[in-house]
Chains A and B, each alone.
Chain A
Amino acid sequence: NAGVMQNPRHLVRRRGQEARLRCSPMKGHSHVYWYRQLPEEGLKFMVYLQKENIIDESGMPKERFSAEFPKEGPSILRIQQVVRGDSAAYFCASSPGVGRSRHSYEQYFGPGTRLTVT
């Protein structure tokens, strides 16, 4: 049973370039969450998506950041015109959503993408 997959694991971008981070949820999971962990900071929620829908993006910076979870394929977190302050670990988590099991709401994290902006 494969876990949450993220790629690339490490990404280096120059200032002004675009970064695309991909996340494939666990099999059977329909809810995807993105979190960011800045150096010396805690994990911060960014966005919550279900297939073809952004449910909540209250944690997303207003500019340059976008996310999608298409009907087919992985969820994508896109950062345009990256700046040094975007350097962080970006984690994706997934959950099955509503269900009968008490574990339905647990979020399982992927290995993360470490973004370095030079």
Chain B
Amino acid sequence: AQKITQTQPGMFVQEKEAVTLDCTYDTSDPSYGLFWYKQPSSGEMIFLIYQGSYDQQNATEGRYSLNFQKARKSANLVISASQLGDSAMYFCAMREGTGANSKLTFGKGITLSVRP
């Protein structure tokens, strides 16, 4: 089974509106971390937001928030007030366990296009 699932083939959103990018994960490890990265057309991987499995509150970073539903094993990224510069591919990733031996596994990504 895939550890990280991103099933939306491509998303479109109107500028200034909010958009949710879906991510579900699968792990039996009680300690894990969830990450979102943005990859614009220039190719670099930009870290956006992190959620730890023991965190009580949903993570927020500026216009990014993570809707963490532990029982459903979902970690959706919410982008508020979309901007044209948000057009990119977005990757969800999970780190299982802790320490240097833990491994980061990525989903296949979702393409987001922001319409003016």
Same complex origin of A and B: no
